[in-house]
Amino acid sequence: MWNMLRLGLVFIAPPFMKKWLLRWFYGAKIGKKAEVGWFSAVSGRQIELGDHSSIRPLTLIHVLGDVQIGSYSEISSFVLVYGSASLRVGKGCYIGPQSLINVDEDVEIGDESALGPRSMVFTHASFFPYTEGYWVRRAGVRLGRRVWCAAGVFLHPGIEIGDHSFVNSRAVVSAAIPEGSVVEGNPARVTYPLERTLRKPTPGYVDQAMRRVLHDFAEVGLRRELGVPSEVIVEEGDGLRFRWRGAPYRVVLIPALGELAPLASAEGGEKRIYLVNRPGWVPPGHEMSFDLSTMRTKYLSDRVHTALRLFMLRYYGIRFTEEA
């Protein structure tokens, strides 16, 4: 009764109170800037939420074992996690909306791995009576490091997926997957090595990739999501100029290759955001930047900087951690 009462109190509490209640009720260890959204709750024997981790609104994690959510990991809305064992999610992970994870045996998700929307993970399988000869299986599930399960994947009890693997949408995984594989189908089968799909990330390739990111950010991040009028966005070689809420902005790519044209001083209160792909290049003054050699940036309150950071993460899987 007490367990359900404290779970309910955390569930209905406003977000600013949830972390305090988790510490009080469960002795939870909660990192800096971790978030638990509206009408979400976590319960477990021991709870640990890493720095910048987030549990989005309308998600319920209710287990009898331990709950560990690594730094920079996100559990989306409408996720249900339940069971008598433990959930361990590594750093930089993602669990998509409407996913269901049964943890009657331990579930472990390695660093930088993801479950797409509406994925399901089960650690037990039974319904018909075991005493009548029907089979029962209970076993944990483990995803290695950098495993991407796309939307609607189903993982059977006892599954282990090796590092650096991709499981295509709606695959039903009923056997172990070796490291470095692309798998799809029902039942899922290895189709080819993941390395076949990869490009060599030379400095020039990264330059071109970031130019595409900027082009798409202008259309999707600025025009659609922030509502910046299209007529005031001007692409200038390796950058963008625009105004948002009356403030002038410029986003500038500092490429790895080629000579840099001299940058004029910012005038009229212009705010600049630099995408730096040139090791050792330091933005002038205290202007905002993303360092592509260290994959670090400052987590700022500036709305455009935040929109660009989240756009790169959401659409291109480019993840920046916070500067120390």
For 73-107, what is each residue's pLDDT tens digit? 999 999 999 999 999 999 999 999 999 999 999 99
- Give me 225's structure tokens: 């999501």
Average pLDDT of the chain, as a whole number: 92
| Banded model confidence at residue 51, pLDDT cuts 50, 70, 90 | very high
Rounded to whole angstroms, the Cα distance separating 72 from 208 reads 27
Rounded to whole angstroms, the Cα distance separating 41 from 52 reads 17
Rounded to whole angstroms, the Cα distance separating 151 from 118 reads 6
- Quote the pLDDT of residue 229: 80
Asked whether the beta carbons of 45 and 25 are under 8 A apart, the reply is no
- Give me 297's structure tokens: 């940036």
pTM for this entry: 0.90
236 pLDDT higher than 70: no
Place of tokens 């792909």: 277
- Quote the pLDDT of residue 109: 98
- Quote the pLDDT of residue 239: 86
- Quote the pLDDT of residue 41: 97
Distance from the Cα of residue 294 to its chain's centroid: 18
Rounded mean pLDDT, 42-48? 97
Rounded to whole angstroms, the Cα distance separating 208 from 206 reads 5
Task: For residue 47, give the nearest of 31, 27, 18 by alpha carbon.
Answer: 27
Rounded mean pLDDT, 62-66? 97
| Banded model confidence at residue 267, pLDDT cuts 50, 70, 90 | low
- Give me 187's structure tokens: 């039942």
pLDDT above 70 as % of the chain: 95
Rounded to whole angstroms, the Cα distance separating 184 from 170 reads 8
| pLDDT tens digit sequence for 166-181 | 999 999 999 999 999 9
Structural domains in the chain, CATH included, are 2-197 (2.160.10.10), 203-322 (no CATH)
- Give me 248's structure tokens: 């002038």
Asked whether the beta carbons of 168 and 150 are under 8 A apart, the reply is yes
| Banded model confidence at residue 266, pLDDT cuts 50, 70, 90 | low
- Quote the pLDDT of residue 170: 96
Report cis status (omega within 30 of 0) of the bond before 129.
no
Place of tokens 């990192």: 31
- Give me 204's structure tokens: 């020039």
- Quote the pLDDT of residue 9: 93
Kindly tell me the sign of the dihedral angle through the C-alpha atoms of 20, 23, 29, 35. Answer: negative
Asked whether the beta carbons of 197 and 184 are under 8 A apart, the reply is no
Asked whether the beta carbons of 226 and 249 are under 8 A apart, the reply is no
